[in-house]
Chains A and B, each alone.
Chain A
């Protein structure tokens, strides 16, 4: 689906973050945070990433993906909970006015260079 576009952006951001004074840098891993509600499939993202990083400093870099849980907070009673099913109604007061605290991340946190 759209994982190729996301992989391309990821590569662009990672390459820009590499120190320019390093000769022949090699990246060991990219540390990502992907929310469970975001429509990104880690397996597809890794597949696309491997294809487009051949012959670049990112070739063979590992994608370490932390899945961020879906955390919701009720606007009415302030209850905060982790959702494991797509139910966005407060379990206490049944109110529907809620805020999404986490779960939609598609973030790169850092990269690790090879020693």
Chain B
């Protein structure tokens, strides 16, 4: 006997993500989901972003990591409201889910925020699959990775509304073809804006900030 079910296996997460979206709409906060592989410079990009946006724009950050509060500690120095999610002490989930964001957002308090940035767990695969109720997704690739990462991890680049190519200050020392990396991103996601910048030196940062301000 066959029993019809016809359900998305991730429906529970999707329902929770929709609830998050309603909550964020009610609080009038724009939510950005920032994703990348480990070590691409998400935290440093955020530190500089927060320093430039605040205090005109009130920003909160939810940081996801398997363990440690290192990133949250760095980000808290900017004066932003920061909360850390640890998925497990020695190797938990490799992505954030909608229920985790619900708990963290309520803990952080969203009443006075204009922008909430979620720094997802470093991973180019799983986070792309889990809706957390965000308004936009940004993927960060750095020039110390590889030009072909967008075509190796197409879902991540396909679901993101914008991309950052970070650490461009290192280009003179590397055999990294930045034009090819951007072309690969645009093959997977034509029309997606790509911001080539250095979170360390601030080079190329203004177009990224302009894009972000326009979203709010």
Contact = CB atoms under 8 A, between A and B. Distances in A.
Interface of A: 1-2, 5-6, 9-10, 12-14, 17-19, 32, 37-40, 85-89, 95-98, 100, 104-113, 115
Interface of B: 1-13, 93-95, 97, 123, 125-126, 128-130, 150-151, 154-155, 158, 186-191
A61 B158 CA distance: 34
Contacts, number: 100
11 contacts: A2-B129, A9-B10, A10-B9, A14-B5, A37-B158, A40-B129, A87-B187, A87-B188, A88-B188, A111-B5, A115-B1
Nearest to B158: A88
Given A5-B93, A96-B191, A110 B9 contact: no
Contacts of A9: 9-13
Contacts of B6: 107-110
Given A2-B129, A39-B128, A107 B9 contact: yes
Given A17-B3, A112-B2, A2 B126 contact: yes
B93 A86 contact: no
Contacts of A98: 190
Closest 4 CB pairs of A and B: A96-B190, A86-B154, A96-B191, A2-B126
A15 B1 CA distance: 15
A104 B4 CA distance: 20
Contacts of B2: 110-113
B120 to A, nearest CB: 12
A37 B93 contact: no
Contact of B155 (A19, A32, A39): A39
Contacts of A40: 129
